[in-house]
Amino acid sequence: MKAIAGSAFLFALIFATAVHLVVVRYQHKQLYMELHHLRHQQDELDQERSQLLLEQGTAGAHLRVEAIARTKLNMTPPNTGQLMRVYP
Amino acid sequence: MKAGSWLAARAQRVRAYFNFSRRAFVLFTFCCTAVLLSWHAINLQLSERDFLEDKGQERYEVKLPTDAHRGMVTDRNGEPLAISTPVNSVAVNPSELVKHRDRWNELGKILDLSPDYLDAILLPRAQRSFFYLKRHISPDVAVTLKAAGIPGVNLIDEYRRYYPSGEVTAHILGFTNVDDRGQEGVELSFDSTLRGTKGEDLVIRDRLGRVVEHVERISDVQPGKDLALSIDRRLQYVAYRELKAAVQKHNADSGVMVVLDAETGEILAMVNAPSYNPNNRADAKRENFRNRTVTDLFEPGSTIKPFTVAAGLESGRFKPTTMIDTQGGQMRAGTVTVTDSHRAGMLSVSQVIQKSSNVGVTKIALAIEPDLFWGVLNRAGFGQSSGIDLPGETPGQLESYRDWGAADRVTLAFGYHTNITAVQLARAYGVFASGGLLRPVSVVKQSTVPEGTRVISEQTAIAVREMMKTVIEKGGTAEAAAVPGYTVAGKTGTTRRNNGSKGYEEKSYRSLFAGFLPANAPKLIGVVVIDNPQGSEYYGGLVAAPVFSTVMQEAARILNLTPDRPEDRGTVPPRFAAWTQPTNQIAAQNP
């Protein structure tokens, strides 16, 4: 009687852990997929950031800025005589 | 009934007989099979287990590498100078692709490759399973190619390096190769910092190559670190623009300029002309890849004179007011005839610097002990490396005073028979700017002021600085180096170029200017070297000094330096170089 009860208990434990294992594996798979997805998203955002930085850097390159300032906006740098220093 | 029971009994006996032998036979066969199978199982388990397990795992477990993002290089204000951005490369599986020849036209059209080229490149490789058809394609081409879905064509994620400032920062940054490894400049000297380390994951893939399960992380991906240089992008641009214009105007072979922070030894600008576009190096000349500011040696000529005079002052035999007879600008010293381009008679030590008198400095050099003279030069970094954190620095050349011949002491006094790079010269001029200290130079932004070593006394340094101020004043050799609103100290140099075996060339010069401002509390040191200017103007005061002036004028405005000569308002408009159309836009494929 005792032996049967013991075996039943162990069997129940085995069954429980087996089910648990399945659940954990499933969760692991789900989480991994999510991680993968997030990494992918991170990569894409990184890519976009670096391209925006690059665009900013290219648009703000002094060669280009000066070209636009001189030709389109007709600007020239001030000489020292045109600068005024204000002392507090 | 009786006969029937007999028959039944017999049948039972017969059945039992057959049953037994049959059963025995079947049992025996099964036993044999079981024994054989278990033997094989044991055999596999014991002797070939590792091999088989490995083979099995190979079929579903894959090590998946994750590329590390290469760190960004920025200037001292955080402006990006080098950025990695992910791009796609086209890898093909030729053995798969040859089965779909009908789609080659389409592939060629998307990638802009001719059918002949595809035939020539793919057919000989028909047995292979991997080949890079095109590296680093633009994002929109990648999208089209992905949509086309041609079998055997795969897109691989890679990084490509872009340099938004193009040719302006080409030499200091260097570049990376197609595999993202540094080849030149900062990209090479700081490659390990910038590169980072690849990560690796062990995953299980199904038959179609989809990742089904993540087994374990073998190593974490370590992205490369960002690097802040000491360069100021604005100063770098101004220096490049002016230098390029000067090299073009004088039809010179090349030119370099270095701008140094006088207080910290940081390089604020470092430019070479001609330059190249690092974003598209296909048409660039290899000789222009070299960063001449660190690799190219030249004789400093008259720019060495402040050091000769400093040695004279240190000896105690000369004061700034000591009079020296320059004998009308000509003297014989042993085998050497020394001449001055501006003939004069009696000059004070200060005027020797102002007029750049060769005779004057020769007399000073001959009056002091060789070891003292050599000591000042040596401590100022002549004949040594500056230790700058860039690859390929050439150490300067300065013979020990023990090996000096009779003429060496004389020619050294006005800067021949010794070689130096532009960076080493700028560093040496820091001695006068800092009040007698030699500081290390670097291209990386410093958080603290590095320790300097004493070269000459503060008193001597300030005295020489005063003399160098007169060079820029009326009657000096470099009036063109003046910067409105600021005091400037500096020295010109014009040397004959020494072409190795052929000796000194006729009518081939090098124009130099080295100086700093504001002269009384120096903040910026600048060195300009222009190699082989053609035409009638070749003096350092006419070719190199104006570059110094315009660059420093803008640099002072950009950095908001307080003018120490506010009464000089610079009525003349600044000599800004003729502006030229930029030639180094990033390649059209860039987004």
CATH of the domain at B113: 3.90.1310.10
Report the pLDDT value the prediction gives residue A79, as an integer from 0 to 100.
67
Residues B578 and B479: their CA atoms lie apart, in Å, by: 21
Flag the least confident range among B7-16, B236-245, B432-441, B527-536: B7-16
Is A81's pLDDT higher than 70?
A: no
Asked whether residue A50 carries a pLDDT value surpassing 90, the answer given is no
**Mean pLDDT to the nearest integer, A44-52:** 84
Residues B218 and B241 in one domain: no
Q: Is the CB of residue B93 less than 8 Å away from at least one CB of chain A?
A: no
Label residue B574 by pLDDT band (50, 70, 90).
Answer: very low
- Residue B68 CA to residue B187 CA, distance in Å, equals 15
In a domain, residue B523? The reply is yes
Confidence band, pLDDT 50/70/90 cuts, at residue B581: very low
Q: Cβ of A54 and B162 within 8 Å?
A: yes
Q: Which of B202, B228, B254 is the last residue of a domain?
A: B228
Q: Name the domain count of chain B.
A: 2
Q: What is the pLDDT of residues A13-34, one digit of tens each?
A: 999 999 999 999 899 888 888 8
Give the model's pLDDT for residue B588: 34
CA B231/CA B8 separation, integer angstroms = 113
Q: Which of B205, B228, B251 is the last residue of a domain?
A: B228
Q: Among A51, A83, A85, whose Cβ lies nearest the Cβ of B591?
A: A51
Query: Could you tell me if B180 and B222 lie in one domain?
Result: yes
Which of A28, A57, A83 comes nearest B164 by C-beta?
Answer: A57
B569 lies in some domain? no
ipTM of this complex prediction, to 2 decimal places: 0.72
CATH number at residue B422: 3.40.710.10
**What percentage of chain A carries pLDDT values higher than 70?**
94
pLDDT for res B144: 87
Question: Does B581 lie at the interface with A, CB-CB under 8 angstroms?
Answer: yes
- Residue B185 and residue B229 in contact, taking contact as beta carbons nearer than 8 Å: no
B175 occurs within a structural domain: yes
Q: How many other C-beta atoms lie within 10 A of the C-beta of residue B241?
A: 24
Residue B579 has pLDDT above 70, yes or no: no
| pLDDT (0 to 100) of residue B585 | 42
Question: Dihedral angle at the C-alpha atoms of B4, B10, B16, B17, nearest 10 degrees?
Answer: -160
Same structural domain, B223 and B243: no
Q: How far is A17 from chain B (nearest CA, A)?
A: 21
Rounded to an integer, what distance in angstroms lies between the CA atom of residue B397 and that of residue B295? 13
Mean pLDDT of chain B: 86
Statement to judge: residues B385 and B267 lie in one domain: yes
- Whether B215 has a pLDDT exceeding 50, the answer reads yes
Flag if A63 and B484 touch (Cβ within 8 Å).
no
User: How far is it, in rounded angstroms, from Cα B517 to Cα B429?
Assistant: 12
Has residue B21 been placed in a domain? no
Q: Give the three-class secondary structure for B182.
A: strand
- Residue B514 and residue B449 in contact, taking contact as beta carbons nearer than 8 Å: no
In a domain, B40, yes or no: no
Instruction: Tell me, yes or no, whether B150 and B297 share the same domain.
Output: no
- Whether A46 and chain B come into contact, CB under 8 Å, resolves to yes
Same domain, B207 and B283: no
How distant, in Å, are the alpha carbons of B319, B444, B486 from that of B232?
39, 11, 21
Q: Do the chains contact at A53 and B590, CB–CB below 8 Å?
A: no
Show the domain range for B251.
233-558
Give the pLDDT score at B280.
84
Same domain, B213 and B261: no
User: Do B550 and B493 share a structural domain?
Assistant: yes
CA distance B133 to B150: 13
B562 touches chain A (CB under 8 A): yes
Q: Which of B79, B80, B579 sits opposite A70 (nearest CB)?
A: B579
Residue corresponding to tokens 């180096």: B481
Examine the domain organization and report whether B209 and B84 are in the same domain.
yes
Residue B329 lies in a domain: yes
Helix or strand (DSSP H, E) at B316: none
**B587 band by pLDDT with thresholds 50, 70 and 90:** very low
Q: Do B579 and A81 touch (CB under 8 A)?
A: no
Among the partner residues A32, A43, A61, nearest to B164 by beta-carbon distance? A61
How far off is chain A from B454, nearest CA to CA, in Å?
36
Domain contains B568: no
What is the spatial distance between Cα B298 and Cα B544, in angstroms, rounded to a whole number? 15
CA distance A48 to chain B (A): 8
Q: Final residue of a domain: which of B203, B228, B253?
A: B228
Cα–Cα distance for residue pair B365/B369, rounded to 1 Å: 8
Task: Give the residue-averaged pLDDT of A23-48.
Answer: 86
Higher-confidence residue of B168 and B56: namely: B168
| Residue B18, pLDDT score | 67
DSSP 8-state class, residue B521: S
Summarize pLDDT for B296-313 with one digit per residue, the tens.
Answer: 999 999 999 999 999 999
| Pair B166, B214 in one domain | yes
What's the pLDDT tens digit per position in B337-384?
A: 888 887 888 899 999 999 999 999 999 999 999 999 999 999 999 999
Chain B touched by A72 (CB under 8 Å):
no
Q: In chain B, positions 362-381, which contact chain A (CB-CB < 8 Å)?
A: none
B387 and B535 both lie in a single domain: yes
How many other C-beta atoms lie within 10 A of the C-beta of residue B347?
22
Whether B424 and B530 map to the same domain: the answer is yes
**Is B585 part of a structural domain of the chain?**
no
pLDDT at B52: 82
- For the segment A56-63, the average pLDDT, to the nearest whole number, is 83
Q: What is the pLDDT of residue B209?
A: 62
Looking at B153-232, list the stretches that DSSP marks H as alpha helix, in order from N- to C-terminal side. Answer: 170-173, 185-189, 191-195
B584 near A CB under 8 A: yes
Element (H, E) at B546: helix B540-558
The DSSP line for B318-387 is: --TT-EEE-GGGEEEETTEEEE-SS--SEEEHHHHHHHT-HHHHHHHHHHS-HHHHHHHHHHTTTTS---
pLDDT band of B584, cuts 50, 70, 90: very low
Residue B518 preceded by cis peptide, ω within 30? yes
Asked if the model's pLDDT at residue B506 lies above 80, the reply is no
